[in-house]
Structure 1
């Protein structure tokens, strides 16, 4: 028996429980207008629920895409942590936003059980049932010449089904799941990236720490704090800007591309020139220099006199710290990266993993740091290759089983620091790179997945609640595709089949 839900039949009680715990879509719809400028309400709803228990189509990165997220604002403003105060950060120390639903393996915490009144005990799908539901869909020629598929149970941590699950494939932007996991594991979800000013003599240094979400407003705040800390009067200052936090080439090997700015630790609004917030956009060729020149204007507005134009230089070790502003917490940055498939954030977070372990922050060292961190978490990295943090590179290789297991790990109660990997996943037909997909399919609102698209590469990895209320992690990687839209539809059918099937 496959346990399929009849068309038009109401969801089972277990499914309703799971959907309430996992999606919070109704609450999200109500609170969307009250949430942060990039948060569609889903993140706010999930954090609120977690706190009560415990106490935004992916671009084809080989070409310019005309699609823009016109409704999204230019920049994410989050309560900044500064030298003179600290904004509240979302609480990621709650048990599990997406907690295990089944009785096998690790059980829900007592707090979680008390909140719902009972622990969900949804039946486990069988391999035969999953094979019957998925094998015909995996035969779709739109999925190209190489298909790697894996389905795992989150509660028990068991692999349930695989079709060449260990065949290494190019994952495209699904790579961002690994990037986010490494950064969260290395630094924790509350870590914030600093942009600082330092002084040595009559020289003021603007020091980039690797926050691509730095906004003009926050840079103005840094100028205000710096001006307040400087001694009034005296000779004009010389402004220098420091990008020494990163090493190696600033350009991705793909070259100049609207999907990614030059990778530098100092930039404003990801170097975007068109006022957009996500997706491809024209970029300034000199993000750090543009940021420094804007900072100079802000300093002048706050009464600081400068001599000459800002130029690049590394702050000497003796330079004293003057002021700082900070990014949103790392957990929020990971969510944004996954929801909007933000390449600039992905490359920045990979470099944060490198910096956390004392490695140089370059493309190659960041990739090595990500791999080392995931191996330390117990994930099987043999045969897994990382070439960048964003997934734009075709040098990235991983099998579907690797990403399914990574998602299972993110749902384990022993790893609450990884929860933003799940809460940041786009929701089918609702948010991020899945907002225009899954129209009138069983997966709408139930499938949550990271998309990946390059020419000839289509991928999807995430979580889904099946018809019986079981939380499953899946990864479907397709290489050698020739019809991008057809491949995306085929992937969506696979995930929807899991949503619509008890598969027993």
Structure 2
């Protein structure tokens, strides 16, 4: 169904009689909104036109946009150049540039016969962010507050162990213990912690540079110079282009499963730079997702874009619009987390408890949206009640516009 026709059907729906089934009881629902359909028939709806805070269910929008604009088989690249003895590493926003990938890059350079490097120069100019941290995040050691960037390793976080004697060590075998870990561990108590190492853009680049340097050393590649920030000069020789081991579809699946805010905003930014429209900025990314959702047929005013992860409370989407988005997401539905026979993405902020996804019907996947904006987190019970309505539904409910119909 063309987007404009879908929008007309969406608007005309509400001229029809509402569903006969009772809504969610007050014991589980006091504020928010929800929507449920089955086989293209509307079963339950409440406050369905109100744009609400979606929390991490917003990642469905970001994931769909990235999959459609970049392609599910897209792989992120990181490029390495040499000039005047220096090695330039240029990042393009790979959200999965983890220690294993850096080790693979190190192995490739060693196999190419490179044994000595002067300076390591880190080029993150593919992003030119108005601020490093996405809207809704805070300056903290918490991993979900990690900043974004074009050349970032390990999600800008490190898993460390603080031992009883106060010494700091990497808690992951694939990641060496780096000087920056010891500096930022601060006064953490003994134990294992995952901390954010991106308090400033300089700290983020330092972390990336140290990881490359130490993993180069593991391959007997000696670095005689310093780590520094810079832009790739004209005429530098490309010596290696590394492609991520993961496809974009696999990256989106990981983002949805772990509800990773960093990955979501990397995708949000990189999609905005498609077709050579770089550098990426937060402003470009907001416009790109906003325009994409309009192209899908989501009505103006039914959503608002602030960032890509759902961390910001200034993101908004109505249950109607999120239900329509789920219809478009059906080709990628299996990327959603699987939970007790359902495909579902959760979302949680203080006072916001959401689920969005699909119940599995015999012929198709039936979308549901549940956004609670209340003190009590009763979303599990609310979803069970919605699923009961779905299981017991007959064909008497009001028609609902569905792209599969």
TM-score (norm 2): 0.76
Residue 177 of structure 2 is matched in structure 1 by none
Q: Gaps spanning 5+ residues in structure 2: where?
A: 1-5, 7-15, 160-170, 173-192, 396-405
| Post-superposition CA distance 1:1-32 (Å, at most 9, x none) | xxxxxxxxxxxxxxxxxxxxxxxxxxxxxxxx
CA distance in 2, matches of 1:354, 1:131: 43
CA contact (8 A) 2:28 2:382 kept: no
Residue correspondence of structure 1 range 16-35 to structure 2 within 5 A? none
CA contact (8 A) 1:374 1:381 kept: no
Q: Name which of 156, 172, 179 aligns with 1:271.
A: 156
| Post-superposition CA distance 1:432-467 (Å, at most 9, x none) | xxxxxxxxxxxx32x21111110011111110035x
CA distance in 2, matches of 1:143, 1:364: 36
Distance change in 2, residues 1:423/1:459 (3 Å): same
CA contact (8 A) 2:56 2:346 kept: yes
Q: Name which of 131, 134, 141 aligns with 1:252.
A: 134
Distance change in 2, residues 1:359/1:221 (3 Å): closer
CA distance in 2, matches of 1:359, 1:453: 32
Q: Which has the higher strand share?
A: 2
CA contact (8 A) 1:186 1:373 kept: no
Secondary structure (helix, strand or coil) at the match of 2:317 reads coil
Residue 263 of structure 2 is matched in structure 1 by 345
CA distance in 2, matches of 1:494, 1:244: 50
CA distance in 1, matches of 2:299, 2:126: 30
Q: Does 1:326 align with 2:217?
A: no
Residue correspondence of structure 1 range 71-150 to structure 2 within 5 A? 131-132=20-21, 135=23, 137=24, 139-140=25-26, 142-145=28-31, 147-150=32-35
Q: Gaps spanning 5+ residues in structure 1: where?
A: 1-104, 106-126, 412-418, 429-443
Distance change in 2, residues 1:367/1:143 (3 Å): farther
Residue 355 of structure 1 is matched in structure 2 by 273
Residue 464 of structure 1 is matched in structure 2 by 359
User: Shift of residue 255 of structure 1?
Assistant: 1.5
User: Shift of residue 355 of structure 1?
Assistant: 1.2
CA distance in 2, matches of 1:160, 1:242: 53
Distance change in 2, residues 1:144/1:263 (3 Å): farther
User: Shift of residue 317 of structure 1?
Assistant: 3.6
Q: Name which of 102, 107, 117 aligns with 1:219.
A: 102
Residue correspondence of structure 1 range 145-224 to structure 2 within 5 A? 145=31, 147-153=32-38, 161-224=44-107
Distance change in 2, residues 1:297/1:164 (3 Å): same
| Post-superposition CA distance 1:88-144 (Å, at most 9, x none) | xxxxxxxxxxxxxxxxx9xxxxxxxxxxxxxxxxxxxxx989642x51x2x425434
CA distance in 2, matches of 1:239, 1:299: 11
Residue 475 of structure 1 is matched in structure 2 by 369
CA contact (8 A) 1:459 1:476 kept: yes
| Post-superposition CA distance 1:261-300 (Å, at most 9, x none) | 1112222221332258xxx942223333212112112223
Q: Which moved more, 1:381-390 or 1:172-181?
A: 381-390
Residue 378 of structure 1 is matched in structure 2 by 297
CA distance in 2, matches of 1:401, 1:348: 27
Distance change in 2, residues 1:359/1:159 (3 Å): farther
CA contact (8 A) 1:150 1:404 kept: yes
CA distance in 1, matches of 2:365, 2:111: 53
Residue correspondence of structure 1 range 363-402 to structure 2 within 5 A? 363-402=282-321
Residue correspondence of structure 1 range 294-313 to structure 2 within 5 A? 294-313=211-230
User: Shift of residue 369 of structure 1?
Assistant: 1.3
CA distance in 2, matches of 1:164, 1:373: 24
| Post-superposition CA distance 1:379-417 (Å, at most 9, x none) | 434441111111000010110111111111222xxxxxx
User: Shift of residue 231 of structure 1?
Assistant: 6.2
Q: Does 1:427 align with 2:338?
A: yes
